[in-house]
Every structure is written in structure tokens, then in C-alpha cells.
């Protein structure tokens, strides 16, 4: 099976595999990657769906949604944080928890440790999730946002631990926990320790529930594997962006296993909403307002 993911470090190797499947997505890049590699930063971005040239200024005003075709463009963790939290309200937490290399994992002669350092330098993010306290329309929240460009947003020990601790803090303070998921699944470089994060984050959701802290899970393109199979699917309210692909194993693997052609909208947010796995599909432009309305309803 061919891996056709563009790796941020320019190597087309196997490091984008989730635990059980290789994501099929091609050329998944953040908005920053696009501006770096294709056109001068700060001017234009090409929509990967309709190929229209869009000015960064217009996109910023439209929450990075294509004005021509409604494609919800891939954006960085920091842009998500600024979209959902009130200005300057976000205070990062648990950034002291750093990635280790418990298995001394190597692929094609490259060590996991070196890969992490290289990505940290290139992307200026230290892991595949950022968590912190913030306010959303003046409501105090704990916010967790995943970063897909960091090893496919995969969940290893640091991702799981940061999310769990943020959930615990939200439960202790009895405030809402909001998560933005975007992930290829569990991180194979950490073996069984990464699978353990599924249980840990799921336990975190139960803590939130016992404390009466609402958990709103926002699922964005793409969310697969161990993240779908743990906390992302356990929100009190589960919201997806339009046309998000959400699943466990990828469609190619499933099609090969069942030997049947899959329906056209297989694993799409729209089909999952129809079948009761999601509560809402919300356009990014309306997301912050929708979140504050939901929290206000749940508070009363």
C-alpha cells in the first residue's frame, strides 16, 4: 500500500501511519505550509478544493473558509485558539510535559527523537496538542486543540496526558471542556503506551460527566483511529465541520476487508449525523456563537 501523505519534514516515509491504518489524505497542509511553499506569505492561498486564489485578509474575516466553495481550510492550532477564545484570554497549560522516546523507535534509520526535534523546529509547536484555559464569550473554559501537521495529529503519551490533565482541571473547576480533534489516530512510535491514552482520555470524560462539566467535542477534517475511538466520540455534544471524514480504519482498508463498494458519503460527517453519531454539523463561521449558546443552555 502506498503512503501518499506529504510529510512536513519532506520525507515520504512511513511515519504518518496511525496505529491501524494509513490515512488516505493527500497533501494535508496547514494554511501556514501553503503560504510557505506556494505563494508569498501574507497574500494569497489556493483553495485545495476549488483551486480559487483567496486573499489571506478575506480568509481571516471568513474563519478560513473558502468564499467560493465553503471548503473549511486546514488551520494551525494557534488559529483555532484565536477563533474560539476571546482575545488574549488563552493561557497554555501543561506545556512542561515533553515527549520522550520510550521504545527508542526508529524507521528507515531515523529516530523518533530526531523526528520530534526536527518538527518542533520546523513547525514551532512542541506536540500534536495544545491545551489551556481561556474564555469564550466571557465563559471560562478549558480548551484542547490538536495539530495535524505534527505527526498526523497522532495521540501519544504527551497528547493523552495533556488532554487528561485539562479534563481533570475542568472537572475540578466545574467549567466546560472543549476539544478540537484532528488526528490520524494513535502514535505508532510509542506502541502500547499510545493505545493506553485512549483509555486515559476516555476516563477523563467520565470525570467531566461526574463533575457536571459539559464536554463539547468538535471533530474536524480528518479524525480517525484511536482519537475517534476514544474521547472525540464521547462528548456530551459532538459537533463536526461540514464534510469532515470521521472513522476508525480508512475506507480502503474497510473496502478490502468487506469486498464491497462503499457508499459515496461513507464516513462523512453528513452520513454520521444521519445515523446518530453526531449531534450537529456547524460551519466554522458560526462555531463560537453555537458553543456559547450550548454552554448557556447546559448551565441552566
By CB under 5 A, name the binding residues for Zn ion. 47, 49-50, 66, 68-69, 71
For the CB of residue 186, give the shortest distance to Zn ion in the complex, in Å.
32
Of 73 and 145, the one with the shorter C-beta distance to Zn ion is 73
| β-strand partners of 136 | 139
Q: Which grid coordinates are listed for 265?
A: 458519503
For the CB of residue 44, give the shortest distance to Zn ion in the complex, in Å.
13
Of 216, 221, 219, 271, whose CA–CA distance to 240 is shortest?
A: 219
For the CB of residue 40, give the shortest distance to Zn ion in the complex, in Å.
20
**How many Å separate Cα 150 from the centre of its chain?**
10
- Distance, in Å, from the CA atom of 63 to the CA atom of 86, rounded to the nearest integer, reads 14
Element spanning 77, H or E: helix 77-84
Q: Are strands 129-136 and 215-223 parallel, antiparallel or unpaired?
A: unpaired
Of 71 and 190, the one with the shorter C-beta distance to Zn ion is 71
**285 contacts 65 by C-beta, under 8 angstroms:** yes
Of 69 and 297, the one with the shorter C-beta distance to Zn ion is 69
Of 45 and 163, the one with the shorter C-beta distance to Zn ion is 45
For the CB of residue 49, give the shortest distance to Zn ion in the complex, in Å.
5
For the CB of residue 278, give the shortest distance to Zn ion in the complex, in Å.
23
Of 70 and 279, the one with the shorter C-beta distance to Zn ion is 70
Amino acid at each position: 500500500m502506498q503512503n501518499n501523505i506529504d510529510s512536513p519534514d519532506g520525507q515520504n516515509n512511513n511515519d504518518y501511519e496511525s496505529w491501524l491504518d494509513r490515512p488516505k489524505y493527500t497533501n494535508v497542509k496547514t494554511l501556514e505550509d501553503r503560504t510557505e511553499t506556494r505563494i508569498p506569505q501574507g497574500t494569497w492561498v489556493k483553495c485545495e478544493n476549488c483551486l480559487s486564489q483567496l486573499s489571506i485578509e478575506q480568509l481571516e474575516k471568513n474563519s478560513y473558509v473558502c468564499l467560493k466553495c465553503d471548503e473549511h481550510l486546514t488551520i494551525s492550532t494557534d488559529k483555532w485558539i484565536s477563533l474560539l477564545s476571546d482575545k488574549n484570554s488563552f493561557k497554555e497549560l501543561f506545556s512542561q510535559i515533553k515527549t520522550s522516546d520510550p521504545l527508542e523507535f526508529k524507521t528507515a534509520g531515523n529516530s523518533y527523537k530526531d523526528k520530534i526535534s526536527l518538527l518542533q523546529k520546523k513547525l514551532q509547536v512542541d506536540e500534536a496538542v495544545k491545551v489551556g484555559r481561556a474564555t469564550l464569550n466571557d465563559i471560562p473554559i478549558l480548551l484542547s486543540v490538536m495539530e495535524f501537521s505534527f505527526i498526523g495529529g497522532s495521540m501519544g503519551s504527551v497528547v493523552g496526558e495533556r488532554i487528561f490533565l485539562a479534563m481533570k482541571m475542568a472537572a475540578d473547576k466545574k467549567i466546560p471542556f472543549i476539544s478540537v480533534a484532528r488526528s490520524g489516530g494513535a502514535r505508532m512510535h510509542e506502541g502500547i503506551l499510545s493505545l493506553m491514552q485512549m483509555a486515559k482520555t476516555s476516563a477523563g470524560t467520565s470525570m467531566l460527566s461526574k463533575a457536571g462539566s459539559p464536554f463539547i467535542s468538535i471533530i474536524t477534517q480528518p479524525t480517525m483511529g484511536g482519537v475517534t475511538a476514544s474521547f472525540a466520540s464521547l462528548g456530551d455534544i459532538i459537533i463536526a465541520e461540514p464534510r469532515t471524514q470521521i472513522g476508525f480504519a480508512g475506507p480502503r482498508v474497510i473496502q478490502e476487508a468487506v469486498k464491497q463498494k462503499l457508499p459515496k458519503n461513507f464516513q462523512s460527517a453528513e452520513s454520521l449525523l444521519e445515523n446518530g453519531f453526531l449531534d450537529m454539523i456547524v460551519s466554522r463561521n458560526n462555531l463560537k456563537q453555537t458553543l456559547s449558546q450550548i454552554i448557556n443552555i447546559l448551565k441552566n
